[in-house]
Amino acid sequence: MGLLKPVASPKTSAHNALIIFEWLHGKSGLSVKNMTKEDRGWAEAIIVDMLNSSFAMGFVEALFRSALKLPAGPKKVILEFLKGASKNMLKYKDKSDLEKMLKKPRIYKSVFNVAKLRTKSLWGIRISTGEWL
């Protein structure tokens, strides 16, 4: 996972951003109406990074069979995002790789855990203060 920066013009809806954050960190007390453009940008940056990292890990899947089974909410959000994402946002070798990702998106458990750990403090500050660092 690389250095995360929020997406400047996020395509992710406030509802989907909240689903992503709640999937990572549990219920926060925030509602969709409290989600800002910056929240949406962070959610999109996190999910793109998680998908890229999981895609890269797919090459060694035979060695590490620990794919995280996605709950219905985040899986739907990821599919919706992938279908609308511009091709240069995600790293993949060719069109068949993108098609495989669209049919069965995967987030590996280790990638999920790293994303959760890396964003825990930032999200905690966002919940406490209403602002991102």
Mean pLDDT of the chain: 80
What is the tens place of the pLDDT at every residue in 98-108?
Answer: 666 667 777 88
Predicted pLDDT at 9 = 92
Out of 16-20, 66-70, 121-125, which region has the weakest mean confidence (pLDDT)?
A: 66-70
- Give yes or no for a contact between 109 and 68, defined as CB atoms under 8 angstroms apart: yes
The CA–CA distances, whole Å, from 66 to 16, 57, 108 equal 25, 10, 6
Q: Give the mean model confidence (pLDDT) for residues 56-78.
A: 65
45 CB-near residues (< 8 Å, 6+ apart): 4, 5, 6, 7
Element (H, E) at 112: helix 109-129
The CA distance from 93 to 130, in Å, is 39
Q: Could you tell me the two tokens for 118? A: 């890396």
pTM: 0.74
What is the tens place of the pLDDT at every residue in 4-57?
Answer: 889 999 999 999 999 999 999 999 888 999 999 999 999 999 998 998 888 777
Crossing angle of helices 95-103/37-57, nearest 10°? 110
